[in-house]
Amino acid sequence: MKGFWHFPALAVVVSSLMKWMNHPIIAAVFLVWLFYLFYRRRICAMPFVLSLISLIFFSFFIPRIETTEINHKQPPQDKELTGTIITPIQVEPEKISFIFQIANTDSKVSMLYFPDNPVHVASDYPHIAYGSTCRISTLLDIPKPATNPGQFDYQGYANKQGISYQSIITSLDELDCLEGTGFLHHIYQIRASMLDYVNGNISDGTAAWILALLFGDKSFLAKDTIELFRQWGLSHLLAISGLHVGLMITITYFLLVRTNLFTKEYAQWGMLLFLPVYALMAGGEPSVWRASIMAIFFIILHKTKWKISVTDVLSITFIVLILFDKLIIYHVGFQLSFMVTFGLLLSRKCLSRTNSSIKQMLLISFIAQMMIIPLLFHYFHILQPLSILLNLFIVPYFTFFVIPTLLMLLFTSPISTISSIIDQLFIVVHEQVLLGIGKIDNYLHYPLVAGSMSFVAVILYYLFLFFFMGYLERGKQVKSFYCGVIIVMIILVDISRPFFSPIGTVTMLDIGQGDAFIIELPYRKGVILIDAGSKVTNTNQQPSASVYNQVIQPYLFAKGIHKIDAIFLSHEDLDHIGSVDYILEDIEVNNIFISDFFDSKEIVWNYSEVVTVKRNDTIVVGNTLFKVLAPFEDRKSANDNSLVLFTNIGGMNWLFTGDISKKEEKEIVKSYPNINVDVLKVAHHGSKTSTDKEVLTQLAPHYALISVGEDNSYGHPSDEVIRNLRESGAIVLRTDRDGAIQFKFIKDRGTFYRFLP
Amino acid sequence: MYCLWCSEPIIQQLTWQNFFFPDIKKLCVYCDSLLEKIDGDRCHKCSRQCDQAICFDCQRWEKEKERDTLVFNYSIFQYNIFMQELIAKWKYRGDVELGNIFRDAVRKGFTPTFAAMKKHAIAVPIPLSKDREKERGFNQAKILADFLPIKSELVLHRMEGEKQSKKSRKERIQSINPFTITKSINKPVILVDDIYTTGTTLRHAGKVLKENGCPEVFGFTLIRG
């Protein structure tokens, strides 16, 4: 069985992929392979049988994540809940959260508290901690599902953690807790007070990095920094992994032995006890557990003189972790951590071919990146190809400077004179490095933006990666180069799928109360936006980034859109244009079209390619023509000055009306008496001041699109408008009930789809 | 799995190459490194490792056209000290299992050389005399031939005689042909044996085959002595 433990581990991967794809094809391929190897006597009975058992066992053991299943389960109505806190309390500057298990059920609740002032939970509320039994009066909600393609599905995310409900606590005083007991409770208490201690005794900037890199708590790092590291493939440095665990072990072992406190024997036993505690202290992320369990294995192997291959250790660790927590396999960090480690272990022979440590580091960085490219596209839709080079500099910087310095700072922190010097030094150096990464981000920003790779492409990708690395291992550089070229081709062809696709789409995004339409022409001949609204911040009435970050950008990136040909803006209200500023920061935009009477005085964005258009102007994007029907004179009202567009897409005539009122609608049908509309974007989110009944009779649309927020304070859409639309024979599609609405077409035929069932 | 030579456990190192199709290792990494393959320039005719295209021995064979019945011989390993010990234990002390060490190397060595004639060629192991086979319990050439991906047939019979390994080069070359044939083959034949030393044995067998209608005879041996 030695050297063959990866077979049962692969069986686990296969059974979970089978669950995820909802198709047994991958298991069939795996079985054929397994039987063939057994038949050809490449594997003995033991790995063969264990793999089969593993495949069968785990395909029952790993649960399927079904979002719909939980939809039907209404939360219990009783307000008074009793239960246990089953995770450490996550304290962030603007959010405090933990998971609560309701007593005598398996229902878990994600509890959230948004404090007005910073709270030190560990010192102020010592009873609110891991393992405490609490009573609380609060209402339970079902986590919100995604309502747009590409949007983060919070419901699915919660399901993957086994969480059925969420609840927002109004005050921590409402929690009536009885402190828990036990080992874990004490460990987490120590951790919580250490976090408090670090935050209190070390400067904020440095403390954030100590918490992230030594305690696995990223919440105090600036969001921009985390985003920057993620985009540049440096996130693995922010997640505690083998690198950190290795350093911790080396330093602790060195201290124990060199100070003559322990013999080597005892020091090793000490490490065995210390590692699990460290994993808990370091926040217990899957990558920490992976590294710690592997380290424990190696110490045991060293002590017992057992011999077993490194891939066996990794495989057994993998299986052990899943047996402990079956949902962990859906954890992104878990997947990335194991993929990278597995890739590097396979490459040992390849790495030993070269003696140059620079070449080795480059190769390590390269392999780590190559292993996870399909995952990066799937989860983040963006990839910086140059990140391999950046890793080359930043990994040693973190290994030899950042982590040792932070450790030293932590150990010396009781002596404030020494620690403040180290603190200062760290800030000076680290700021410069972060600035440097920021500069690289500015100048070398050549990202690949794409949605998930197709299944076939992923299979081909990994197949050729094996050939590529296999040839490299044998020193056949030419053949390996050809495979490399094929890999690049696979990615490029897969990314350019939209350019070969005859399918076009018109999408009405669900951005709440506001408008955002995205038109993607077939063969990617053009991408057109009509309005891009945002929510407004409560404090200063500025456009908030939330709609862009949560809906528009994820949609665009998931569709691989990094260039927009035209944005039409109907009028200057923020629920129609608020996200434009954010789009311009990220994405290349050719032209913005506005009307003559667009009041741009208060516009925050500064953009040169703005074109003003007037009645009867036509704009051609790709092969699609947009005709401006209004406004023709200044109506002294932003809504009535809305740009009204007429176009034909997918065999349908579309009328985009912005927020015009009945008066304006009547004027348009008077000026264009022969107009024939199939799809009407209902003006002003279905307000009763728009959508005149007579106009509706004349236009007689087959479909009416209403972009409107759920339970909005304006009472949109009005019942009267809905009734009139229904009476006119139109099918009403609305974002508040249906989520995003998509019209997909090939040539002159198309169909509307609702995102929510 | 334990090393067939030193009995240390063998641990497979999983790499990109052997991921899809693991190699079967019969020797541990250290013992495996003691086996020396013939690489670099070799004699085109007898596989001896040398810089000449045709080595001196083979030039002598080529002068005697009618006795030189072999097109060429292909060998895989060099006959170093480790190999001598290995062969001694395998053949003379009867550790049959040791033969499996060579399974992969035999297949991998055979395919590129004989790929072109693979379809219709037949492998013929060099037989042992009846007494010798009884004494040893197995025929090492037959074991090697069975590793090959082509059909093998026992068509030769060997008369009793002295052991080849106890004779000098001259005695060997001038010895009488000990082989008789039990069935004629009219397809190309690849003779299989463990060691090629002077090439006399293979050529004796080749002569008998050719006299009975075989068009071409090749040699495939594990070791070039």
**Chain B nearest C-alpha distance from A482 (Å):** 17
- Residues from chain A that touch B19, judged by Cβ atoms under 8 A, are 346, 466
Q: Which of A621, A566, A620 is nearest to A594 (CA)?
A: A566
Q: H-helix or E-strand containing A471?
A: helix A455-473
Among A38, A42, A459, A483, the residue to mutate for chain B (most B Cβ within 10 A): A42
Decide: A198 and A210 in contact? Cβ < 8 Å: yes
Among B17, B25, B28, B39, the residue to mutate for chain A (most A Cβ within 10 A): B17
pLDDT at A172 over 80: yes
- Residues from chain A that touch B15, judged by Cβ atoms under 8 A, are 346-350, 470, 473
Can you give the pLDDT at residue A209?
92
Can you give the pLDDT at residue A386?
85
Among B14, B100, B108, the residue to mutate for chain A (most A Cβ within 10 A): B14
- A281-285, B59-63, B122-126, B183-187: which has the highest mean pLDDT? B122-126
- Residues from chain B that touch A349, judged by Cβ atoms under 8 A, are 13, 15-17
Instruction: Report the percentage of chain B scoring pLDDT > 70.
Output: 98
Bridge partner list, B221: B75, B193
CB contact under 8 A, A42 and B21: yes
Higher pLDDT: B119 or A128? It is: A128
DSSP secondary structure, A685-732, as one string: GG-TTSS-HHHHHHH--SEEEE---TT-TT-PSPHHHHHHHHHTTPEE
Can you give the pLDDT at residue A68?
44
Instruction: Report the percentage of chain A scoring pLDDT > 90.
Output: 41
pLDDT at A193 over 90: no
Decide: A279 and A187 in contact? Cβ < 8 Å: no
Can you give the pLDDT at residue A76?
65
Per-residue pLDDT averaged across A510-529, rounded?
94
Decide: A655 and A645 in contact? Cβ < 8 Å: yes
- Residues from chain B that touch A307, judged by Cβ atoms under 8 A, are 9, 11
Q: Which domains does chain B have, with CATH numbers?
A: 1-33 (no CATH), 40-224 (3.40.50)
CB contact under 8 A, B14 and A311: yes
**Chain B nearest C-alpha distance from A312 (Å):** 9
C-alpha A503, offset from chain centre? 26
Measured between CA atoms, the residue of chain B closest to residue A312 is B14
Banded pLDDT at A490 (limits 50, 70, 90): very high
- A450-454, A461-465, A561-565: which has the highest mean pLDDT? A461-465
Instruction: Report the percentage of chain B scoring pLDDT > 90.
Output: 30
Measured between CA atoms, the residue of chain A closest to residue B11 is A3
Banded pLDDT at A602 (limits 50, 70, 90): low
CB contact under 8 A, B9 and A474: no
How do the residues of chain A divide into helix, strand and coil, expressed in percent and rounded to 5? 50, 15, 30
- Residues from chain B that touch A308, judged by Cβ atoms under 8 A, are 11
pLDDT at B16 over 70: yes
Map residue A137 onto helix, strand or coil.
strand
CB contact under 8 A, B13 and A472: no
Map residue A281 onto helix, strand or coil.
helix
Per-residue pLDDT averaged across A74-80, rounded?
68
Q: H-helix or E-strand containing A313?
A: helix A310-324
- A326-330, A401-405, A491-495, A677-681: which has the highest mean pLDDT? A677-681
Least confident of A28-42, A65-79, A708-722: A65-79
Q: How many CB pairs under 8 A join A and B?
A: 58
pLDDT tens digits, one per residue of B85-114 = 999 999 889 899 999 899 888 988 888 888
CB contact under 8 A, B22 and A37: yes
pLDDT at A139 over 70: yes
Per-residue pLDDT averaged across A504-508, rounded?
96
- Please provide the average confidence, as pLDDT, over all residues in chain A: 88
The two tokens of residue A443 are 């100048």
Q: H-helix or E-strand containing B133?
A: helix B130-136
For the four alpha carbons of A721, A722, A728 and A734, in that order, the dihedral sign comes to positive
pLDDT at B36 over 70: yes
Decide: A312 and A2 in contact? Cβ < 8 Å: yes
Q: H-helix or E-strand containing A645?
A: strand A644-649
The two tokens of residue A270 are 């000490």
Tell me the residues of B at the A interface, defined by beta carbons under 8 Å apart. Answer: 1, 9-17, 19-24
Nearest to B16 among A44, A309, A473 (CB): A473
**Chain A nearest C-alpha distance from B27 (Å):** 14
Banded pLDDT at A72 (limits 50, 70, 90): very low
pLDDT at A510 over 70: yes
CB contact under 8 A, B15 and A466: no
Can you give the pLDDT at residue A481?
94
Can you give the pLDDT at residue A265?
86
pLDDT at A177 over 90: no
CB atoms within 10 A of CB A739: 22
Residue A352: CA count within 13 A, CB half-sphere: 6
**Chain A nearest C-alpha distance from B58 (Å):** 34
Least confident of A66-75, A104-113, A623-632, B114-123: A66-75
Decide: B194 and B87 in contact? Cβ < 8 Å: yes
Per-residue pLDDT averaged across A727-755, rounded?
93
**Chain B nearest C-alpha distance from A456 (Å):** 19
pLDDT at A70 over 60: no
Measured between CA atoms, the residue of chain B closest to residue A7 is B19
How do the residues of chain B divide into helix, strand and coil, expressed in percent and rounded to 5? 35, 15, 45
Can you give the pLDDT at residue A78?
64
Tell whether A473 is within 8 A of chain B (Cβ): yes
Banded pLDDT at B159 (limits 50, 70, 90): confident
Tell whether A2 is within 8 A of chain B (Cβ): yes
CB contact under 8 A, A2 and B11: yes
Tell whether A309 is within 8 A of chain B (Cβ): yes
CB contact under 8 A, A346 and B22: no
Q: How far is residue A751's CA from residue A205's CA, in Å, rounded to a whole number?
A: 53
CB atoms within 10 A of CB A55: 22
Measured between CA atoms, the residue of chain B closest to residue A468 is B16
Nearest to B11 among A308, A349, A466 (CB): A308
Can you give the pLDDT at residue A416?
83
Listed in sequence order, the residues at least 6 apart from A716 whose beta carbon sits closer than 8 Å to its beta carbon are A513, A684, A685, A686, A687, A706, A708, A709
CB contact under 8 A, B22 and A466: no
Tell whether A315 is within 8 A of chain B (Cβ): no
Tell whether A319 is within 8 A of chain B (Cβ): no
CB contact under 8 A, B16 and A470: yes
Can you give the pLDDT at residue B115?
76
**Chain A nearest C-alpha distance from B7 (Å):** 14
Nearest to A470 among B11, B14, B17 (CB): B17
Can you give the pLDDT at residue A460?
95
**Chain B nearest C-alpha distance from A35 (Å):** 12
- Residues from chain A that touch B16, judged by Cβ atoms under 8 A, are 346-347, 349-350, 466, 469-470, 472-473
pLDDT at A170 over 80: yes
pLDDT at A630 over 90: no
Q: What is the pTM of this model?
A: 0.81
pLDDT tens digits, one per residue of A563-599 = 999 999 999 898 999 999 899 988 899 999 999 888 8
- Residues from chain A that touch B9, judged by Cβ atoms under 8 A, are 2, 307
